[in-house]
Structure 1
């Protein structure tokens, strides 16, 4: 006997408090907070917790769910779990969802399961669609630039994918400003403009300010920041040490105890004081700080519990910063 499910019905109030921002110069708007299924939604995780987070997110206006072929662990299992939620709960709401997936990192053995060839991208998306039980995804990303495959081939594959109906839009992730400009030019020429770029960006990782944000604004491309909370470091979770259930304590996480230095924690403590003065949690202030850029379409959060989703969406209540607050943040970060 399988688990018995109550029939899910989305809340009527789901669109009342969320903000929706246009992605660059496209017709598509994304929820200002998007939910990423990078961690906590794989085969090693508790399915019921993952399901409750996804449904809670949708009930509170989060319409964009971000996946990739290799999310898990094991790889592919986040898409498989999301398929169960789609089938059992979200199927009536498919046209209200923006579902994204990606290919670009190692996924299967041999020469065709990694990087940026047309062979890999088309095959990987076919596998993702099969895992999720979908006819198309809303956004398909090339997950990272491939130094050996001609950029034209990778972009032609993205164009082919849209023309085949397997994705509505395409995006890039982890591309530099120069690579983004070159890729965008090819895509525009092909007739499938780049919708969005997904870079890592937070107070401790500001590489996008070195040209990428300006390039995106010039090209009319949206931006969705991943790791806006520096894998949880920009929250109050690590002020008293490393909790046992945190990302830093997980063997398959990317935040390592070595990242949680005395210097970083001293900055986190000062930022936390400023956030409290703004009547926000540190996480809320960190998300608002990322969203302050006009180019920024959405922040991509991870979550291990429902309360973290609520914390993130509440950040939208106070997105404004005074010049003095921004200067204080700069001072703290430069110490």
Structure 2
């Protein structure tokens, strides 16, 4: 017998409407940024993807350059689509992105139509898909007219290679303009993917307002601040952590100051009082009040996915708890 998804997979997951669209996303989504590349253990990645789907996570977030090496996370996911997930395609929301460096020459990164269209064609081949559900411009390109970048997203949706268009890490002003252009083209923007966590609250300075006003959904990446908001750092920097790895580009020991560690310890105490782990409280906090559609987690083992999904058991915060959290971060 091959893989058969749990018949209870939709019973306990919370699904949130994505802006003013027909899409509902799981409150917790799984990203394949780390731990699903060619250098990683395939069976571990496979076990995580299966468990995630069994828990109701039906949204998997990728990008052309995820690995390492670049492209290999999509290839790994392609093996899942050809195997375990083959009969479940219509239950899944699968996203990819283009914007960061992928191949040499002037058309291997940024926001030209040439790059976005070529990149999605490559991604579809790697993932063994006819279409992705969401395709993102991964970053704003200051040198390409926004009309061209958004025009490429509109084209790909009209070609049927993507069902919906999204953007990632655009400022509030850039986002408002991108929304306007896509609306004029007739392909409304579905979603914005910003970084957002207790330790990085930039979206509160105007971005969530722009999204709310325009009926656009949101999915927060790094809601656990690259693992800083987990029990891993409560007692300091462990030697096997990403922060201790001097070659890690995403997090290093300079980010983990004594002040930061003290904040993390205080937040951990508040989480304990709520009956949650620090990771669970951090995810619940990102999802509080319903302004963020989904929190995008990463994972290196199945137990982390289970712990993160259990955050949904307590999403409510009292005014006093929110004040305590703010005080800890001052």
Q: Same fold (TM over 0.5)?
A: yes
Q: After superposition, where does 1:142-221 map in structure 2 within 5 Å? A: 142-221=137-216
Residues 249/53 of structure 1: CA separation in 2 closer, same or farther (3 Å cut): farther
Q: After superposition, where does 1:80-119 map in structure 2 within 5 Å? A: 80-119=75-114
Distance 1:17 1:245 in 2: 34
2:48 corresponds to: 53
Distance 2:65 2:215 in 1: 29
2:9 corresponds to: 14
Q: After superposition, where does 1:1-335 map in structure 2 within 5 Å? A: 7-250=2-245, 251-334=247-330
Equivalent pair of 2:139/2:169 in contact (CA under 8 Å): yes
Equivalent pair of 2:133/2:164 in contact (CA under 8 Å): yes
Shift in Å, 1:245:
3.7
Normalised to the residue count of structure 1, the TM-score between the two structures is: 0.97
Shift in Å, 1:301:
0.2
SS of residue paired to 2:75: helix
SS of residue paired to 2:322: helix
Residues 293-333 of structure 1, C-alpha deviation per residue, up to 9 Å, x if partnerless?
A: 42211000000011110111000010000000000111111
Distance 1:177 1:208 in 2: 8
Residues 217-275 of structure 1, C-alpha deviation per residue, up to 9 Å, x if partnerless?
A: 00100010000000000111012333344322443451111111110010000100000
Normalised to the residue count of structure 2, the TM-score between the two structures is: 0.98
Equivalent pair of 2:234/2:268 in contact (CA under 8 Å): no
Distance 1:44 1:97 in 2: 25
SS of residue paired to 1:288: helix
SS of residue paired to 1:123: helix
Residues 119-162 of structure 1, C-alpha deviation per residue, up to 9 Å, x if partnerless?
A: 00000000000111100000000000000000000111000000
RMSD: 0.9
Distance 1:245 1:162 in 2: 43
Equivalent pair of 1:24/1:295 in contact (CA under 8 Å): no
Distance 1:241 1:188 in 2: 48
Equivalent pair of 1:283/1:312 in contact (CA under 8 Å): yes
Residues 304/144 of structure 1: CA separation in 2 closer, same or farther (3 Å cut): same
Unpaired segments of 5 or more residues in structure 2? none
Higher deviation after alignment, 209-218 or 247-256: 247-256
Distance 1:130 1:109 in 2: 19
Equivalent pair of 1:247/1:253 in contact (CA under 8 Å): no
Unpaired segments of 5 or more residues in structure 1? 1-5
Equivalent pair of 1:216/1:295 in contact (CA under 8 Å): no
